[in-house]
Structures are given as structure tokens and as C-alpha cells.
Structure 1
């Protein structure tokens, strides 16, 4: 038992030593990166849904001089943007962060101003192509606050109009259903369900009907619930 306890203690010391060595290695690598750094223009492209395309933004960023481009598909309502956060952490003094529009850079006024302040303190330029460069000067802050506020106002207005439209449709349209319309009819799904009951695999049904496996699984679960009621 004592021997086992000694081994555990020894392993902890070794683990701590390896961790400390790794931390030293990281610090040295970062110093080397800063020392040999060449100021670079980084582009960032983002869309909010899987259906949207990144290519137009990427092309615009390249044409405007971006040398390295980071991209991601992420909803505008989530608080997480891992690719953007990674890019921000990589930027060094003298670099430029380029985006096509303000809403690609931040989701609201406060976030935009906080990010701008942080990047300016680190000596990083921000170029929003449909506005221009933003810096830490009083004029730069004023202009950026104004444009950010307008972008937030526009977003809130769209949300408000969408909600009003849904409320009106729910009240006056008896056939209105919230959410996206279903791509496949009930008859198509029921046919697929019959194929499943006959022993066909999801892949076989997908080839025969064109309905994705995820959709088949979801719709079949709905049918099972109906049958059990």
C-alpha cells in the first residue's frame, strides 16, 4: 500500500514537471512568434445558417487584400463563435482584422465596442469593408458606436416585424403553421414508413425516396408516437 502511495506521488511530480516544461515551451514559442512576426491582413467570413454561402464574402475579402481567411457557419443568436475567438487570440500588434460588414464582426453594439477596444489596445487595426477603418480615437469611437447602434436597430426591427407577421398569421390564417414548411408530403413519409416496416434500411429508403436519413428518423419517431396514442 505504501509502495502504491509512493508511486502515485512520484507520478504527480512527473506530471507537474511535464506540465511546467510544456508551459515553458509554449512561452518560448510565443516569444519566437512575436519576434519573427510579419504584420498580416486576416479576413473573417461568417454566415448564420447552413443554407447560406461563404463564397461571396471570401471573394470580397481576398479582393480587398486579406492574406489569410478564417470562416465559420454559426447562428447570430449563440454566444459562441470558436473560429472567431481563435482568430482574435492569434492576432498580434500590426495585424489587421478585415470583415465585409459590421454584423459579421459583432452581434450587438456593446460586443462590437468591447472587441474594438481590446484590439486597439493590442495595436490591431479593424477594417470593415462597407465602412472603413476604425481606431481608438474619439472620432473613430463615435462613428463606430453610431454604426453599431444602427445595425442593432435594424436587427431588432427585423425581429419585431417577423414576430408581428407571425402573430397576424396565427390570428387570421387557419392554415398557418409555425416553423419551416415540411419538404416532403405526408404521403411520401407514409410510403417511406411502409418501406421501413418491410425491412428496408434507412440507406435503402433514402435512395428510393430522396428523404435524408435524419429526416426519416425524425418523421418515423413522430409516426410511432401517433400510433401509440
Structure 2
């Protein structure tokens, strides 16, 4: 008997798949046939739960995803994947694509999938260009790019200790260094030992 195999994915561990899972369950996917990858980029070729979902697919089954970007990033890879499923006798169903479901088992669904895969890749490339442009503009302007906090040197800690010994409040000195008071005290103790 044909089954619906569901797949959900988020790129970071902080993100939640709750909404995707709820949509897949409403679409008729059984909880036992739901595969979820947490903290796995769509650009990666190997995704553990995605690979398990594909192993579970047999002829007549349909892989169900909520949005096209859960499948991958490149139009070429998505189309090759859809062809592979078709060759295996399995289908692909994308929920929330253009206001409705798209099922690649039908000619119209296959055509829509091809168009939407190309649009998804274009959207990804536009976002990437915007991020690169934003980073270069922030770098040129000398602005903070975020990321890991700057490393505070031992010399900076020694100077800060002198300020505290001279009467400056430790909390203010620590704040000026960009660290918590507890971290300042810990680093100070490590230098005086």
C-alpha cells in the first residue's frame, strides 16, 4: 500500500520543525513515517534523516515536504532528485507551493515543480548577493560584523586591574571591556596567581 513519507529540516539547532511537522501530519503523513533533520544545511548532499526517508520510499510512495527549500538549493539537484524519484516509481509532493500542493506524479505538477525549483534557486542566489553586499559595506564602514566576541588580551586585563585598584568600579571596567564582571574577576585571578 502506498505511503506518504514526510521530511522536515531546519538549518540550525535553534530553529524548530514544529510547524513543518504539524503541516506534514495534517497532509496525511503518519508520525512513524516522519523524518526530521535538525541543524543540517540544505546545501549538504548527505542529510542523515533525509537519507533514511529515501531508504523508506518504495514504488508507489510519495515523499512529502512543506516547502521546496527543504529539499535543496540548486535547480539542477532538485530536478535530478525528482527524476530519480520518478524512476523509482515514487512521487514528490510539496505543500505550500504557489498556494497549493504540487505533486510530481502529474504532468502539471512536474512542470510547476521545475519552474518553482528554478525560482527557489534564484531567490537563494539573490539573498546570498545581498548578504555579501551587506558584509562588504559594513566592513568598508568599519562596523562590527558580529560573530565571536573579540579576544581580550592579558595586557588589557592588567590595565583594567590598575583602573579598579585606582578606584574605578569593577562593573564599569568590565562593561567597557565587553565582558561580565564575573569573567573580569576570573581573568584577573588567573593573572595574579
1:164 Cα deviation from its structure 2 partner: 0.4
CA spacing shift, 1:176–1:128, aligned 2, 3 Å: same
- Distance in 2 between the 1:66 and 1:196 partners? 56
Aligned alpha-carbon RMSD (Å):
2.5
| Contact 2:103 2:110 (8 Å CA) reproduced | no
- Give the structure with the larger helix fraction: 1
Asked if 1:124 is matched to 2:90, the reply is: yes
Answer with 139-148 or 71-80: which moved more: 139-148
In the alignment, what sits opposite 2:26? Answer: 63
SS of residue matched to 1:129: strand
| Contact 1:120 1:136 (8 Å CA) reproduced | no
1:80 Cα deviation from its structure 2 partner: 2.0
1:115 Cα deviation from its structure 2 partner: 1.0
Mark the runs of 5 or more structure 1 residues left unpaired by the alignment.
1-37, 200-229
Which of 127, 142, 145 aligns to 1:177? It is 145
In the alignment, what sits opposite 1:52? Answer: 15
- Distance in 2 between the 1:164 and 1:101 partners? 27
Bigger CA radius of gyration? 1
Structure with more contact order per residue of length (Cα contacts < 8 Å, sep ≥ 6): 2
> For 1:23-172, what aligned pairs fall within 5 Å after superposition?
38-67=1-30, 68-73=33-38, 74-131=40-97, 132-135=102-105, 137=107, 139-172=108-141
Once the two structures are superposed, residues 101-147 of structure 1 have per-residue CA deviations (whole angstroms, 9 ceiling, x without a partner) of 0011222111111111111111112110023111374x444322211
TM-score for both structures, normalised by structure 1? 0.62
- Distance in 2 between the 1:198 and 1:76 partners? 49
- Distance in 1 between the 2:95 and 2:74 partners? 18
| Contact 2:135 2:145 (8 Å CA) reproduced | no
| Contact 1:60 1:100 (8 Å CA) reproduced | yes
TM-score for both structures, normalised by structure 2? 0.72
Moved over 6 A (4+): 195-199
In the alignment, what sits opposite 2:170? Answer: none
CA spacing shift, 1:57–1:196, aligned 2, 3 Å: farther
